Amino acid sequence: MSETRSTSRGRSRHRRRKTALLAGIPLALTSAGAMAYGGVFGVFGADAQPEASAASATTSARTASSALAGVTDVANGFASVNALGQNGTYGGRDGQTVTVKTLADLERYATASEPYVIVVAATISMNPVGKEIKVQSDKTIIGSGTSGQIVGGGFFLGQGVHNVIIRNLTIRDAYQGVWNDKEHDFDGIQMDGAHHVWIDHNDIRHMADGLIDSRKDTTYLTVSWNKLSQDNKAFGIGWTENTTADITIHHNWIRETEQRNPSTDNVAHAHLYNNFLEDEAGTTIKSSYGNYSRGKTNMVLENSYFQGMTNPVVRDATATLVQRGNVFSGTSGKNESGGSGAAWDPKKYYAYTLDKAADVPALLKSGAGPRSSVARASGGTSGATTTSAAATTLTVAADGSGQYRTVQAAVNAVPANNASRVVISVKPGTYRELVKVPSNKPHVTIQGSGGSRKDTTIVYNNASGTPKPDGSGTYGTGGSATVAVDADDFQARNLTISNDFDEAAHQDIANQAVALRTSADKVLLDGVIVSGDQDTLLVDTASKDKLGRVYITNSYVIGNTDFIFGRATAVIDKSVITLKKRWNGTSAGYVTAPSTAANRKGILIANSTVSGDVSDRSFYLGRPWHAGGDASLDPQTTVRNTSLSAAIRTTPWTDMSGFSWKADRFAEYKNTGAGSGAASSERPILTDAQATNQEVADWLGDWTPTAG
């Protein structure tokens, strides 16, 4: 950090009631994947049911119309079997259709005794966090395009609840900062003794306990075409001594999860096929096992794909497991089958068609999870086609299959002073280029179109001391950024932004090397990786007198020295901060270096994890950067409700360039883990009263981050 970056604030902000944040909404992705719905369902995309202007929930008598998603088609797998007085699973087909945008309306209709098709057409935040709506029988709950989001909670189906369809939703972010959380039973979908349930084409991630729990003899359940990710426990089944449940699990993409992938305990007939289990290399999440046949389970496992998994298939001595046609790539440990149970054939219960195991990764990367719009199915388990979203989208592909070959070319194509959002959809690949979004191009989203944020990478290797090619000097710290954002209302998601400057090879020049620099207001980063060494993420403002707010969620920030720094008002929420060794293998570093102006908010790390493969007690949480020696600055970092590894020093703050941290604003609140500690003169801890003024909403003011 060699440049002067001071700020000031010319206005005050009145206190207000804090509201839940509606952040991290994934935008529609055009996909070649498939959904075999059996009809045209117009709540996806442009054919969505019109909203009443004066109400948050609307009803429609068009219950027989093909414009109603999830009404005319019927579940597959065991959910389609006639049993227990229920003829298959068709949800709220026989009731009214309502469109909901509030928690009150969603709960009203989901808990009603009458059948309903409930179309979720907004992001709905649970209050309190962890709330699970108690869904009653004969319901279809389905997202409208990709706008149906449930944040901070989920659904509960109790004993005897039946004939329920949950489709096309994103259910996310009840995570409370503890990876293997034993305190908070906050699931995405929990079923206790339910039957005839179809869970289809959802994205469920980052919860406090399980993503899906099927318990207490829940049966005639089909779980299909879902994305399950970013959680310690993916999908647990069982929890009784009975062996009566019949369950089908097919075409699910399970990744970045440690256990219960799924764990299947005492299930009479468990049919798992065409699933993709992926342990992504390079993340802190490591699988302990994959598919697990426990107790007296009788499992048939067919044509699934296991990538990098530890113990991909595990069987108890009392269980039965038949494997057919599975692919194992880069796996290790147990891969078991056998048992003394009676062989059974799923086709005696229902019809199904297997996709080739080798095709499963590509099929699920393009087809699992919520869809933006759907066309008429053409047959088979994956024979439907999707139509593209109506949003303005520019496509980038290095191989020439998109509109542009580089990200910068797409940015250049955005009209100056554009009034509405432009999505730059970047196909998987590595894009070695510099990207700058100028201040006259607001409302831009750069979004990776791959299945993982690691599939699409924008990378370059400039450093502060790198000479410019025109001979006009060096880049300087801010100028070294791989991606530089000067435009307000910018968003990035589902990609990696990196600076891979080689410090070991260039010890002769200043080695500050920024991956991402923002100098704008209302910047939303959701589901990204920002990776570098020193000065990875520069959160700046356009000038000393301008406010710049940045909200980062569900993301990774990686570095070693002052790698989150600047004068912006920045929040890192529900994310992982990964500590990295220096170029010479030593462990020593600083997480934050704020240069905040007096009377302005600085850097807030909340509900997150700070860890990495470094030595114990080797990293500070932060130090005060008085950019340019400006004594009027009042740097601020608060770290709260966050898990700190033993890498954090017992005295986590330190001085910088002659300025004492004690003269500025550094504090913690209710952190956990080996790196946390008790309050002392060297470790300020906020009181409960102080902490009420240092919450996420205080940092963001009148801005609620939402996808455009």
Instruction: Provide CB contacts within 8 A for 122, sequence distance 6+.
Output: 100, 101, 102, 147, 148, 149
User: Hey, which bits of 216-266 come out as E strands?
Assistant: 219-224, 227-238, 245-250, 253-259, 263-265
How far apart, in whole angstroms, are the C-alpha atoms of residue 276 and residue 368? 10
φ/ψ region of 617 (left if φ > 0, alpha if ψ in -120 to 50, else beta) reads left
Q: Is 562 a catalytic residue?
A: yes
Contact 121, 100 (CB under 8 A): yes
Catalytic residue (choose from 217, 535, 540, 573) = 535
User: Hey, which bits of 96-173 come out as E strands?
Assistant: 96-100, 116-120, 123-125, 132-135, 139-143, 149-151, 154-157, 162-167, 170-172
> Could you tell me which of 580, 607, 621 has the C-alpha nearest to residue 672?
607
Q: Is 47 a catalytic residue?
A: no
How far apart, in whole angstroms, are the C-alpha atoms of residue 441 and residue 420? 10
Instruction: Provide CB contacts within 8 A for 557, sequence distance 6+.
Output: 529, 530, 531, 536, 537, 563, 564, 572, 575, 576, 577, 578
How far apart, in whole angstroms, are the C-alpha atoms of residue 253 and residue 226? 6
3-state secondary structure of 403: coil
Position 440: which residue type? N
> Could you tell me which of 209, 232, 234, 180 has the C-alpha nearest to residue 673?
180
How far apart, in whole angstroms, are the C-alpha atoms of residue 191 and residue 221? 10
Contact 101, 122 (CB under 8 A): yes
Distances in Å between the Cα of 227 and the Cα atoms of 170, 215, 255, 366, 385 are 9, 20, 8, 11, 18
Query: How many Cα atoms sit within 13 Å of 422 on the Cβ side?
Result: 21
Q: What is the CA radius of gyration of the chain?
A: 26
Contact 382, 355 (CB under 8 A): yes
Instruction: Provide CB contacts within 8 A for 465, sequence distance 6+.
Output: 474, 475, 506, 508, 509, 510, 511
How far apart, in whole angstroms, are the C-alpha atoms of residue 565 and residue 415? 31
Contact 337, 302 (CB under 8 A): no
Contact 226, 204 (CB under 8 A): yes
Instruction: Provide CB contacts within 8 A for 137, sequence distance 6+.
Output: 115, 160, 161, 162, 163, 164
- Residues taking part in catalysis: 535, 562
